[in-house]
Amino acid sequence: MPGFELFGPEEKQEVADVMESGFTFRYNFDHIRNDRWKTREMEALLCEKMNVKHAHLVSSGTAALQTAMAAAGIGAGDEVIVPPFTFVASVEAVFMAGAVPIFAEIDETLCLSPEGIEAVITPKTKAINLVHMCGSMAKMDEIRTVCAKHNLIILEDACQAIGGSYKGQALGTIGDVGCYSFDSVKTITCGEGGAVITNNEDIYNHAHMFSDHGHDHVGSDRGAEDHPIMGLNFRISEMNSAMGLAQLRKLDKIIDIQRRNKNQIKEAMSEIAEITFREIPDVEGDSAGFLTFFMPSEERTIEINKKLAENGVDGCFYWYINNWHYLANWQHIQQLKSPAALPITLIKDKPDYTKVAVPKSDAIMSRTISMLIKLSWTEADIKQRIENIKRAFA
């Protein structure tokens, strides 16, 4: 998954180009920037590659989520359905929007399940934050049907799934608004960065303004621009966009390598009788950043995870006990710990997050191991890895 494995002269050249221009701000200042517009270039390329009308770069995936929520009109008191298995940012962003995260069950896609979503809908539900975890997708057709029936906004957190698709549509472009992350360990990286993508012009315009203090970006005099809405600074710098642009040009290659490497390992592991693989609703659209499999029991999962490490199979994650990716380990969120009073503390009938139960998700995650697929593996590395895996299972 990590695009940094393919860093090369292309990234250096793009960054050098910004240094030469002598200017790193993404907007305005036409007279001193020597016609370098790396952010605009990367946004245009994202639109082309993802076949989406609008792409807006911001400073991180977390900033993208917060921007997307504000731009889609999600705010105080709205309930937003979230999965218990995700990176914690998918939930933090809901709190920071003033909204109320409502946890729902995942299924063996490792994403929110259609039934799980439907079970927790209330009159206050405004949106779902649908996280396409570990490079692959949720059951989009069924989920779209549920959301259409209840008039819910679909926000796709595709931070871990850029390059993936569902029935030919890029993940992130199927719902109302989507988000990508380009942080240091993502499929493509620019150090820190993110994107909001959408076909909805109103959401795009609001995202553009919200992430830059409400600037309307009309005209060429920044100081004279109007401020139709309030916002914050979630801007990306030209340095980051330059690196991201070079990485985005490599995305197809990255996905090809991931798929090739994953297929080889998956094929070899198919011979191991005790494992089953994660459900992937559209196998052809898997971005293949991870190979995820289920063990028959929690005990055996713990044992195998240990044996994989002992046998030199690196990059294996037992997310169930991971501090950052599973609800059961987020005591700070369960207890609403924050240096300042969060808006949710004012809500009277808020959930008691210390008591949220997701038994179906627990049953799945306690038996799940995800293996990171690297880009730098040689044929010999893969052969060796397969031998090591077989030894761990022996």
Ligand X SMILES: Cc1ncc(COP(=O)(O)O)c(C=O)c1O
Stretch (H or E) spanning 269: helix 251-269
Using the rule CB under 6 A, give the single segment among 60-68, 220-228, 334-342, 370-378 that binds ligand X. Answer: 60-68
- Give the one residue of 42, 56, 80, 87 binding ligand X; rule: CB under 6 A: 87
What torsion, rounded to 10 degrees, do the Cα atoms 65, 66, 69, 75 define? 150
Q: Which amino acid is at 2?
A: P
Through-space distance between the first and last CA atoms of the chain, rounded to whole angstroms: 28
By CB under 6 A, how many residues form the interface with ligand X? 14
Between 68 and 392, name the residue whose CB sits nearer to ligand X.
68
Burial of 120 (C-beta count, 10 Å sphere; 0-12/13-18/19+)? middle
Minimum distance from residue 21 beta carbon to ligand X (Å): 25
C-beta separation of 163 from 187 below 8 A:
yes
Q: Binding to ligand X by residue 14, rule CB under 6 A?
A: no
**In the complex, least distance from residue 204 CB atom to ligand X, rounded to whole angstroms:** 20
Q: Quick one: 97 or 275, whose CB is closer to ligand X? A: 97
Contact pattern from residue 287 through residue 316 relative to ligand X, giving x for each residue in contact according to CB under 6 A and a dash for the rest: ------------------------------
Q: Which residue, 157 or 282, has its beta carbon nearer to ligand X?
A: 157
Determine, following the binding rule CB under 6 A, whether residue 60 of this chain makes contact with ligand X. Answer: yes
Choose, by CB under 6 A, the member of 125, 160, 173, 258 that binds ligand X.
160
Choices 74-82, 154-162, 230-238, 374-382 (CB under 6 A): range interacting with ligand X: 154-162
Q: What is the DSSP string of 284-344?
A: GG---SEEEEE-SSHHHHHHHHHHHHHTT--SEE-GGG-TTTBGGG-HHHHTT--SS--GG
Residue 134 near residue 158, CB atoms below 8 Å: no
Write down the least CB distance from residue 89 to ligand X, Å. 4
The reply to whether 261 sits near ligand X by the rule CB under 6 A is no
**The two structure tokens encoding residue 146:** 């549920």
Compare residues 183 and 238 and give the one whose CB is closer to ligand X: 183
What are the helix (H) ranges across 1-149?
A: 9-21, 38-50, 61-71, 89-96, 114-119, 140-149
Pick the stretch among 11-19, 152-160, 279-287, 338-346 that binds ligand X (CB under 6 A).
Answer: 152-160
Q: Which is nearer to ligand X, 181 or 361 (CB)?
A: 181
Q: In the complex with ligand X, which residue's Cβ is closer, 76 or 185?
A: 185
Task: Please name the residues in contact with 48: beta carbons below 8 A apart, sequence gap of 6 or more.
Answer: none
Least separation in angstroms between CB 264 and ligand X = 25
Say which amino acid occupies 326: Y
Distance set, CA 103 to CA 73, 81, 116 (Å): 20, 6, 9
The residue whose Cβ lies closest to ligand X is 61
Please pick, from the candidates 181, 187, 247, 366, the single residue that binds ligand X as defined by CB under 6 A.
181
Contact 111, 132 (CB under 8 A): yes
* Cα→Cα distances 218→67, 154, 338, Å: 20, 29, 37
- For ligand X, what does the binding mask look like between residues 194 and 233, x meaning CB under 6 A? x---------------------------------------
Q: Give the binding range for ligand X (CB under 6 A) out of 2-10, 29-37, 157-165, 273-281.
A: 157-165
Contact 353, 329 (CB under 8 A): no
| C-beta of 225 vs 234, nearer to ligand X | 234
Q: Can you tell me which of 157, 176, 225, 362 binds ligand X, judged by CB under 6 A? A: 157
Question: What is the helix (H) or strand (E) element at residue 369, kind and residue range?
Answer: strand 368-372
- Which of 39, 67, 86, 237 forms a contact with ligand X (CB under 6 A)? 86
Taking alpha carbons only, the member of 322, 328, 319, 335 closest to residue 95 is 335
At closest approach, how far in Å is the CB of 108 from ligand X? 18
In the bound state with ligand X, the residue whose beta carbon lies nearer, of 60 and 261, is 60
Residues that bind ligand X (CB under 6 A): 60-62, 86-87, 89-90, 131, 157, 159-160, 181, 183, 194
